[in-house]
Amino acid sequence: MAARLVPSKKQLAWQQLELTAFIHFGMNTFTGKERGDGKEFPVMFNPVALDAEQWVKALKAGGFKLVILTAKHHDGFCLWPTKTTRHSVAASPWKNGKGDIVRELRKACDRHGMKFGLYVSPWDLNAVSYGDSVKYNDFFVRQLTELLTDYGKVDEVWLDGAGGNGENGKRQGYNWNLILSTINKLQPNAVISICGDDVRWVGNESGRGREIEWSSVALVPRCYPNAGERNTEMRLNVFSRDLGGRDVIGRASELFWYPSEVDVSIRPGWFYHEKEDVKVKSLAELVKIYFQSVGCNSSLLLNVPPDKRGLINEKDVARLKEFGDYLTKMYTIDLVSKSFRPWTAKEGEGKEYALGKGCVVNTILLQEDISRGQRVEAFTVEGLVNGGWQVLGKGGTIGYKRLLRIPDTSVEAIRITIDNCRKEANISRVGVFLAPEIPRK
Q: What is the pLDDT of residues 165-192, one digit of tens each?
A: 766 678 899 999 999 999 999 999 999 9
Strand partners for 418: 379
Q: Is 14 left (phi over 0), alpha (psi -120 to 50) or beta?
A: alpha
Name the DSSP class of 226.
T
* Number of other CB atoms surrounding residue 43 within 10 Å: 11
Crossing angle of helices 314-330/283-293, nearest 10°? 50
Q: Which fold has domain 2-215+259-330?
A: TIM Barrel (3.20.20)
Name the DSSP class of 282.
P
Report CA 33 to chain centroid distance, whole Å: 24
Backbone angles phi, psi at 79, to 5 degrees: -85, 10
- CATH 3.20.20.80 spans which residues of the chain? 2-215+259-330
Per-residue pLDDT, 289? 98
Per-residue pLDDT, 161? 85
- CATH 2.60.120.260 spans which residues of the chain? 343-433
Per-residue pLDDT, 166? 65
Per-residue pLDDT, 167? 66
Task: Look at the pTM and tell me if it is higher than 0.85.
Answer: yes
Strand partners for 170: none
Q: SS3 for 31?
A: helix
CATH node for 343-433: 2.60.120.260
Give the residue among 130, 6, 15 at the shortest CA–CA distance from 72.
130
- CA angle 380-299-257, nearest 5°? 80
Give the residue among 283, 424, 414 at the shortest CA–CA distance from 346.
424
* Number of other CB atoms surrounding residue 16 within 10 Å: 12
Per-residue pLDDT, 1? 66
Residue ranges of the chain with per-residue pLDDT less than 50: none
